[in-house]
Amino acid sequence: MNGICEVTFQPYGKRLSVESGLTILDVARRIGVDITSLCAGKGTCGKCKVKVEFGSENVEPITQKEMKHLSREEVNEGYRIACLTRILGKMIISVPERSRVGKQRLQTEGLEIPIVLDPSTKKYFIDVPRATLNDPRSDEERLLQSLIDRYGLRDLTIDYEAARQLPVSLRKENGRVTVVVWNDQRIMAIEPGDTSQRCYGFAVDIGSTKLAGFLIDLNNGKVMATAARMNPQIPYGEDIISRINYSMAGQDKLEELQEAVIDGINDLINQCCESAKIRPEEIYDSSFVGNTCMHHLFLGLTPKHVALSPYVPAIKRGVQIQAAKLSSLNTYKYGRVYVAPVIGGFVGGDSVADIMVADMLTSGETILDIDIGTNTEIALGNKEKVTICSCASGPAFEGMHIKHGMRAATGAIERISIDPETHELSFRTIDDALPVGICGSGLIDLLAELLKAGIMDCKGKLLDKQIPPQLLRRGTDGIAFVIVPQKTSGIDTDIVVTESDIRELQLAKAAIHTGASIMMIRMGLSLNDISKLIIAGAFGNYIDPESARTIGMYPEVALDKISFVGNSAGTGSRMMLTSKECKIYADRIAEEVHYLELAIQPEFIEEYAKSMFFPYMDLDKYPITKELLTRLNRSRDSLEGVGFVS
Amino acid sequence: MNGICEVTFQPYGKRLSVESGLTILDVARRIGVDITSLCAGKGTCGKCKVKVEFGSENVEPITQKEMKHLSREEVNEGYRIACLTRILGKMIISVPERSRVGKQRLQTEGLEIPIVLDPSTKKYFIDVPRATLNDPRSDEERLLQSLIDRYGLRDLTIDYEAARQLPVSLRKENGRVTVVVWNDQRIMAIEPGDTSQRCYGFAVDIGSTKLAGFLIDLNNGKVMATAARMNPQIPYGEDIISRINYSMAGQDKLEELQEAVIDGINDLINQCCESAKIRPEEIYDSSFVGNTCMHHLFLGLTPKHVALSPYVPAIKRGVQIQAAKLSSLNTYKYGRVYVAPVIGGFVGGDSVADIMVADMLTSGETILDIDIGTNTEIALGNKEKVTICSCASGPAFEGMHIKHGMRAATGAIERISIDPETHELSFRTIDDALPVGICGSGLIDLLAELLKAGIMDCKGKLLDKQIPPQLLRRGTDGIAFVIVPQKTSGIDTDIVVTESDIRELQLAKAAIHTGASIMMIRMGLSLNDISKLIIAGAFGNYIDPESARTIGMYPEVALDKISFVGNSAGTGSRMMLTSKECKIYADRIAEEVHYLELAIQPEFIEEYAKSMFFPYMDLDKYPITKELLTRLNRSRDSLEGVGFVS
């Protein structure tokens, strides 16, 4: 069956005519409909469920592979897995809320770290003398000598494109020109007249999920505008491995992913420029921070070997190139692009930024820095030595693989408390909307509260006897605890947490805790040595530090030692944009920080097993939590299996 | 009248369908038929005569402006001025021999100067250790450390494009890669396996008229192949000013000229690569030498201000850029391009090459270096000080503005002698073909022989009494001397030299002589101080040094002090390609050599007037020639007006 099929997506009302034989996901990508896909279209995650509203006769019959992801009801209602279903004729498809990528709460804020303003890119206004028969020096000589005389700028070279501007610019306003100089070394633009007051830079945090951009006035370091959006690579796979797989299918696929992220960045640039009333070509310098995969994809470097053992990046040091190398980037074409260095395959520029923001290499304190994400990077040390590791904590805290998990978007439950006496549950949602799911901070609260209420034991088992019957559900996948019953939820069912959800979260928190434990063992440091625990990451700012500590996400540090730095990748990107010193610091971090490969440490298995417990198998290491749980728990069951229970 | 007209050019048999309204010259350019045009299509030179063979009803009637350039016979035969005649329908046009640019004798040879081989671009083969979990260093670190360990290459950076090759190349032959390094600073390519034996460079001499290219093996400095061709910019104007005017009509016109010369260079590259059996992408480095206008047009810099007082270049220092900046250049795209520095608006990279080849800045001798061309550059000095000037000698010695002048191509009379007794004339033509005109070396011989035979006096006046009647012609433009009568010539008329031709040559030689005289005055040097007279330039090699001296083209230097270096621009280009030291020397020359603006020197008018005489007004300064002429000349008339005749 060949031909052209008209496909309409609801509720967007987007319509496209395509050749038959494409999958629904293919068509969605073409038309710009973001459908969640964790596996990049391999048919393994089952997240891209859509409903064929009309035209069900124009798709092939449902297969066994699809059936694995669909309930009987869903099949009856016409649900299909978008990546496994090929379109053979005209149809209307509806994308349910849960399959939409959705507008997420994007954190762009980060700490304001005081730095000495010294950007790589600066403007200099200069009045160049006219040539005469008695002084027939070239344009180049007259310009360069004037810059030496006026500003002491020696040994400058002129970029090719600036050289082409030179004879024209020099004669437009009678020798009055503004030169844009990079690193006091290279002239990258020569503009007629005095434009020295308009000199801008753009700092970007390239997250796997979100992009954040900051428009900076390079004359004073001030943030003029901020913008954020989802990473347009998401339709190619929510997780990094899916995107790497996609990029490996060919040079064009790699470039497709590169273009996607640059398109997203251009969108940020345009938003910021519009709001600050500047032209994109007035952005002469930009700075990019991202994890190693984002770093490689942004630069068009194959990320293949980042994903394969022994997981090494192609390039490690900070990259400084002409913007034109990334031809579609919408800044001054012959301006500069800086990409922060990476430490290793699993610890990228975002980790460099973490360590820089925490100033770990020069600070007198011993700092434990945890940047929570799908991969959680943990840095530990002081000016003597800093070590970093990466834990495959997984996307559970981002709501993935969790029955009603979701990102921190409108309607997500972000705060939960349970009365240990009455077991009454209270919650708050983002934007105070009807609850439609539960996000990471809500999940951490939930686990801590279930533990404290004695509804869940230290092994993560739900104790059915402790659950009020109206909040208990039983299914083929074990028992579930109702957070919001259907009648008050924003979706058609109860919002619940299942034992399998708890298992996912348990694995995630165990991974982080194991990393921190092993780092302390390897560095020969005890809890008392740590003077600061810094939580970084966009998501970090929203978690309750006590809940996280209660479930044993990290060692039991006094709450007053814990601080949050938010999106330190963005903060670091801004620092590197506005300070040459910070760029040098970044390379120093990438070179000096020692990478620890967790998986090959002898204590790994034992520590991981112990960390699976809430908060930890050996409760003596959690004296505060031990006291709390012992006091609250009326049932010894909930502490069963924990080391101290003899 | 609009529509499509089919136009055929004979004898080429080239055919093109074009919109009506274009001029014949426009169409010729589109189809690649080279028609001589000195004025770049302005209708002032009248050199682009063509004959409308069929379809004369499809052109507008002949105008007064065309008539100025055409004889009655030509009009009757259907001749038209190509740049003034618009095509309105189908036609066949024949391009007469004299209007064809023609295949010229192109000199590519130059001196072989012994230099220490040390090219900027070198290849290094290296076996990079594999990454392991215990050594998870990035590809970049492992590569760079290996290069330090094996070759002591420190502080290398990796170009963006090489970085993109790195992870792939490193894994193709199990870590064995060859890196291409520029200036021991930048890695510009990373190739799998051992390709270190294949490392090539290309040196180019960009002449206004001809392009010469040399394919060099950078491992040993040997020339592997040589090619030459006309500069494809010629159809835009044979002289530089016409091309500058063309380029000023808009950015697209400037780029058109830039593309034209790059196309021509690509042609040379392809020819050389084919003959040497290498691929153009194995050329990693290239070097370009040209006069200031060629330099600007090649780089896409507007040459406007080179042509306007005070005649300053935009850029003076040597330019080192990535080949990709000249996007159509057919070498390794991310290789390097070097463009030699220029000294001033009238003294370009070719002059730098002259001075380098003569080694004027370090030699113990005092050297007078004359590079003869449309502009003749004269350098004088020794290691204490070198000064250079440029003389507007004009294109007369290239056969232009000379009734039967032509370039040094097949059929050109290149040697002439006249028996002073019998006045019998002998000549030799290039390729021993039937004579069709006379080229520069022939013109110089002719003047010297006419002078020695007493047929021409020292003022350049033809003495009709001394001309055998069968060799004398009288016309509205004075008298003419027959070099080859019609019956033995290869064209339909006598080949003659007119008094007006002599005037052109006189002006040209006077310009050169004036330059040399003033240089000596300004430098406080006498003839005895000069230990070497070096004649450079493609044309220089063919001239008879005695004839040139006899007519006073340069001061009367002993013949054994005169040497020829041929195309020293090409030699210099090769030197700069294969030696970093030579690049530094070139910049030193551009910086240290003092430019002398002849026109503003107080002695200029007087010296010019004196130099108009053959050989010079004050014959005492030409004792050898004075003796010769006095001995040969039976008539005092021929020496009339010369200073020594009291």
ipTM: 0.79
For residue B304, the distance in angstroms to the closest alpha carbon of chain A comes to 9
**Residue where the block lists tokens 């070759």:** B151
The alpha carbon of B392 is separated from its chain's Cα centroid by a whole number of angstroms, namely 14
SS3 (DSSP) at B281: helix
How many pairs of residues across A and B have Cβ atoms under 8 Å apart? 124
Q: Which residues of chain B have a CB within 8 Å of the CB of A166? A: 301, 314-315
Asked whether the beta carbons of residue A314 and residue B597 sit closer than 8 angstroms, the reply is no
| Torsion angle in degrees (nearest 10) through CA of B445, B451, B457, B459 | 40
Residue B476 confidence (pLDDT) above 90: no
pLDDT in tens, A535-594: 998 776 788 888 999 999 999 998 889 988 888 999 999 999 999 999 999 999 999 999
For residue A153, the distance in angstroms to the closest alpha carbon of chain B comes to 17
Q: Residue A171's closest chain B neighbor by CA?
A: B305
Which tokens belong to A267?
């969108």
**Average pLDDT of the residues of chain B:** 89
User: What average pLDDT does range A405-422 have in this prediction?
Assistant: 84
C-beta separation of A385 from A594 below 8 A: yes
Identity of the amino acid at A314: A
Percent of chain A past pLDDT 70, that is, above it, reads 93
Asked whether the beta carbons of residue B136 and residue A344 sit closer than 8 angstroms, the reply is yes
Residue A48 confidence (pLDDT) above 70: yes
C-beta separation of A471 from A482 below 8 A: yes
pLDDT in tens, B543-562: 888 899 999 999 999 888 99
pTM, two decimals, is: 0.80
Q: Is pLDDT larger for residue B635 or for residue A36?
A: A36
For residue B418, the distance in angstroms to the closest alpha carbon of chain A comes to 45
Instruction: Pick B597's closest partner by Cβ from A136, A139, A597.
Output: A136
Question: In angstroms, rounded to a whole number, what is the distance separating the alpha carbons of residues A24 and A386?
Answer: 48
Instruction: Pick A138's closest partner by Cβ from B133, B134, B314.
Output: B314
Going by the DSSP 8-state scheme, the letter that residue B315 receives in this structure is: -
Q: Which residues of chain A have a CB within 8 Å of the CB of B163? A: 299, 301, 314-315, 319
Q: Which residues of chain B have a CB within 8 Å of the CB of A317? A: 140
Asked whether the beta carbons of residue B133 and residue A166 sit closer than 8 angstroms, the reply is no
User: What average pLDDT does range B34-46 have in this prediction?
Assistant: 70
Instruction: Pick B167's closest partner by Cβ from A137, A301, A311.
Output: A301
pLDDT for A53 equals 87
Strands A200-206 and A283-290 turn out to be parallel
The alpha carbon of A525 is separated from its chain's Cα centroid by a whole number of angstroms, namely 30
C-beta separation of A39 from A242 below 8 A: yes
Number of other CB atoms surrounding residue A584 within 10 Å:
12
Residue B205 confidence (pLDDT) above 70: yes
Lowest mean pLDDT among A621-630, B101-110, B307-316: B101-110
Q: Which residues of chain B have a CB within 8 Å of the CB of A168? A: 302
Question: In angstroms, rounded to a whole number, what is the distance separating the alpha carbons of residues B566 and B178?
Answer: 38
Helical packing angle, A568-578 and A580-592, nearest 10°:
130
Going by the DSSP 8-state scheme, the letter that residue A273 receives in this structure is: H
Which tokens belong to A635?
């049932």
For residue B314, the distance in angstroms to the closest alpha carbon of chain A comes to 5
**Average pLDDT of the residues of chain A:** 89
Q: Residue A320's closest chain B neighbor by CA?
A: B160
Interface of A with B (CB under 8 A): 131-141, 158, 160-161, 163-164, 166-168, 171, 299-302, 304-305, 309-317, 319, 321, 325, 342, 344-345, 595, 597, 600
Question: In angstroms, rounded to a whole number, what is the distance separating the alpha carbons of residues A578 and A218?
Answer: 7
pLDDT in tens, A279-335: 999 999 999 999 999 999 999 999 999 989 899 999 999 999 999 999 999 999 999
Residues in chain A: 646
Interface of B with A (CB under 8 A): 131-141, 158, 160-161, 163-164, 166-168, 171, 299-302, 304-305, 309-317, 319, 321, 325, 342, 344-345, 595, 597, 600
Choose, out of A158, A251, A295, A315, the residue to mutate when testing the contact with B (most B CBs < 10 Å): A315
CB half-sphere exposure, A494, CA atoms < 13 A: 13
**Residue where the block lists tokens 């034109």:** A324
Q: Which residues of chain A have a CB within 8 Å of the CB of B251? A: none
Question: In angstroms, rounded to a whole number, what is the distance separating the alpha carbons of residues A646 and B87?
Answer: 107
Which tokens belong to B619?
């014959």
In sequence order, the 6+-apart residues with CB closer than 8 A to the CB of A553 are: A444, A509, A512, A513
Residue B637 confidence (pLDDT) above 60: no
Question: In angstroms, rounded to a whole number, what is the distance separating the alpha carbons of residues A254 and A247?
Answer: 4
Which tokens belong to A348?
């990228």
In sequence order, the 6+-apart residues with CB closer than 8 A to the CB of B346 are: B292, B311, B375, B377, B390
Strands B79-81 and B49-54 turn out to be antiparallel
Q: Residue B306's closest chain A neighbor by CA?
A: A138
Residue B595 confidence (pLDDT) above 70: yes
User: What average pLDDT does range A407-429 have in this prediction?
Assistant: 84
Question: In angstroms, rounded to a whole number, what is the distance separating the alpha carbons of residues A620 and A545?
Answer: 20
Nearest to B114 by CA among B600, B584, B582, B630: B582
pLDDT for B47 equals 67
Lowest mean pLDDT among A390-404, A567-581, B428-442: A390-404
Asked whether the beta carbons of residue B312 and residue A163 sit closer than 8 angstroms, the reply is no
Instruction: Pick A314's closest partner by Cβ from B163, B299, B314.
Output: B163
**Residue A646 pLDDT grade (very low, low, confident, very high; cuts 50, 70, 90):** very low
Nearest to B212 by CA among B204, B222, B223, B220: B204
Choose, out of A143, A161, A164, A288, the residue to mutate when testing the contact with B (most B CBs < 10 Å): A164
Question: In angstroms, rounded to a whole number, what is the distance separating the alpha carbons of residues B512 and B369?
Answer: 11
Number of other CB atoms surrounding residue A73 within 10 Å:
8
In sequence order, the 6+-apart residues with CB closer than 8 A to the CB of B190 are: B143, B158, B162, B165, B166, B169, B170, B177, B178, B179, B180
Nearest to B557 by CA among B545, B568, B566, B543: B545
User: What average pLDDT does range A197-209 have in this prediction?
Assistant: 95
Lowest mean pLDDT among A504-508, A609-613, B207-211, B260-264: B207-211
pLDDT for A131 equals 94
Going by the DSSP 8-state scheme, the letter that residue B468 receives in this structure is: -
Number of other CB atoms surrounding residue A426 within 10 Å:
10
